[in-house]
Amino acid sequence: MPVINRVADRLEEIAEWRHDLHMHPELQYDVHRTAASVAEKLKAFGCDEIATGIGRTGVVGVIRGRKPGGKVLGLRADMDALPIEEQTGLPYASKTPGKMHACGHDGHTAMLLGAAQHLCETRNFAGTAIVIFQPAEEGGAGAKAMLDDGLTERFSINEFFGMHNYPGMPVGSFAIRPGPLMAAADRMWIEIEGVGGHAARPHKAVDTIVVGSAIVGALQQIVARNVDPLESAVVSITLFQAGFTDNVIPQTALLRGTCRSLTPEIRDLLERRVKEVVDGVARLHGAKATVRYQRDYPVVVNDPAATDFAVSVARDVAGQDRVNPSAVPVMGGEDFAFMLEKRPGAFIFMGNGDTANLHHPAYDFNDKAIPFGTSYWVRLVETAMPA
């Protein structure tokens, strides 16, 4: 079964929904306009129940099939944008300075709305589809907030499924794998205190720029020399702040960064070694350093059975040769991981074509991908819960 004809016929309508969302990006939990638009459409489609304010600004629609019983599947799309100045020049470009949909969440929301519309019309399944529109995926752990608000228990969800567009993959293709698919994403703040002084008298100071530079270099050796070469890990320092003029050695410095891993063991190792390395290097230079290490999103771990099922559905939509069931894991983070900790399920990548990368000011979701993503959602429900 390829792309659903009715879905393909509605491409222009669904794309218009996306363009409206794209013009009005909202960040984190402040997605009030987006959530209201989603709830309004779900009501117009005829959802059996609509719940708002779950996880602060999340929206949930309940669609019951034509027959009772069956599973309860949770289908999740994210709604929030990013604090990036758009540089696409598109007629539907962001109207809000400093904010844009640079990760395609506008497309994710529109595709799930398209699926909800079709499922409400046809009801060609025996069970319940729960369409979940989540805020704050971009660093705010909106998935966890919705779970903490009782999402799973309130709607008796058996399995969760998620999807993300992927630039560089052809439109109409999918990629997935069982087990770890996306990395745990942790954050670190490193505060260094030395001895400030005149730049012409460095021997009377403890230079926090030198100390910070040494810490940056030493941290890179954790992956190179402490992590098994057959494992995956990332340690990246992404911010270095120190000083305010050219003739003063700064008293303090601040480093920030991220650690990524695919297993609990490597996650523990990174946290432990970061703290040891920072403390040791600071002491070596006669400085003091403190580390604040925050564990954010866990590893996205796909259930093997749910992954096999997702592969079969994607192949029904895209064709046998356009679904990669053994994708290489990526070190990006995704808070859908919290949902997969709560219930089994699977997260899948969908091709966005030859576009700018995610989180780039020139990125745009590819409307040509809409029929494939929307059809995947519909087929997932109908295949899992045949009427």
Known catalytic residues? 80, 137
CA atoms within 13 A on the CB side of 310: 31
Alpha-carbon gap, residue 192 to 290, rounded angstroms: 7
Residues 6 or more apart from 108 whose CB is under 8 A from it? Answer: 77, 78, 79, 163, 164, 165, 373
Pure H helices in 285-335: 304-318
> DSSP character for 50?
E
3-state secondary structure 167-219: CCCCCCCEECCCEEEECEEEEEEEEEECECEECCCHHHCECHHHHHHHHHHHH
Residues contacting 96, CB < 8 A, separation 6+: 24, 25
Do 348 and 310 contact (CB within 8 A), yes or no?
yes
Distances (CA, A) of 279 to 186, 249, 284, 321: 19, 21, 9, 51
Residue pair 181/300 in contact by the 8 Å Cβ criterion: yes
